[in-house]
Chains A and B, each alone.
Chain A
Amino acid sequence: MFADNWKISLRQIKRLFVMDIFGISSLILPGIFSTLTGADGILCLTLGMAGGMVLLWLIGANLKHIKTDYYSYIKDTVGQLLGDVFMVFYFLYFVTLCGYVLNQVTMLVLTWLLPEGSWMGVCILLLLLAVYASMRGIEGRARVYEIIFWFLGIPLLIMLFLAMQEVDTACWTPIVSSGGAQFLEGTIAVLIFLLPLTALLFLKPFCQKPQQLASCGRWAMFLVIVLNALIYLILVGVFGQNTMGILKRPIITLMGMVNLPGGFFTRQDVLMTAVWFFALFALMNTGIFQGTLILKDLCQQCRGSWALWATAVLAFIIAKGFFEYNFLTEVFEIYQSHVALPGMFLILLILLSLHWAKERKPKKEGITDV
């Protein structure tokens, strides 16, 4: 009947991607902007959105040519060997992202919710949960986020609305004061956080209306950028640029400062951590799901559960690496900005160009024949 048909609706896709992108970007971007661009962070967000539009255009253009699934499309376009190389590239992206986010969400728990907890215990528990969520495919995951979207969204919007009262608009200036290099770095940071949108390419077989996948991505990106802009303006207005630079996770600190009318509850940071807990968990889950999907494509003899556990173990090792060695975070940032970001654009461009070239070829031959 309806359940277990391995198809998800457009609303589910939109909400899933909002959660995927919003959690990590709202947690980390304000800190990056405050050290790089100050109040110009808004401009970086705008430029980043423009870059995101280009990315989504490329995704949309490629999606039109995907007949069954992305892997087959890549293989048909660039051949088996290069296709496998591309898939390994995607696998590395998703699995490292998963490991990074796993460490982030573990640290979030240990900082705000369970200061005396063990990293290993929290991390393994989260990983097992992610495996459980991914076990029965994309439907279950999509349903979870379809349901909790407003349960998290409404309190967040209320808190942001209440925080607005504390905003000092003088902190929003000066604008266009940062240098070109900082602008570029800020914009690249925004684009990096939009990269999970490339998962759209793999969703064609799972979507009820695949022709609208790219527009779902645009909707999600637009909403996330608007929310991030709002959050950034509030954070700058409340903390000022200098204070914000030294705060670990300014958005959660802000949640702890907002006074609810009536004054019964004095600190909501613990409760509001739920928003980022669920959002980061969503992204981590996307990493595991996509990694498993790609691994299954690459190694077709392997059983699904094997691919799932392999991806999970790999993600755990990467997360442990991030936790143990701080320099790996810097390496990851370099990988994201110098390899993953250009690579994503490049692959999509190559695929599109080759596909167009292939499409034109028979037409020209046809004309000569006539």
Chain B
Amino acid sequence: MPVTTIAGRDVHVDDEGFLTVYDEWDPDLARQLAAQIGLDLTDEHFKALTFLRADYVTQGETATLRRVSALGGIPTKELFSLFPKKPAKKMAYIAGLPKPHGCV
């Protein structure tokens, strides 16, 4: 598993740059990851990221947009404006979670 340096520390990532170790993430790292894909994080972004990370602990996989909207209470429309174009993938990337495996 490759190791890369983000925000001055070593983190484990997969081939596409998604973090592979849950506990290596923190909000500072999230800001760095977001900056790499051109996003500046606000409280609204963090609300989605917090839900995603908490949900991952109980479910063992990254929540879908529908789940974030239904259980996290953030409308899909808002997710598209917060994380434009590919919200599911971008949220997972910034939240330090595995890429959602767009169900087969």
Whether A and B are associated in the same complex: the answer reads: no
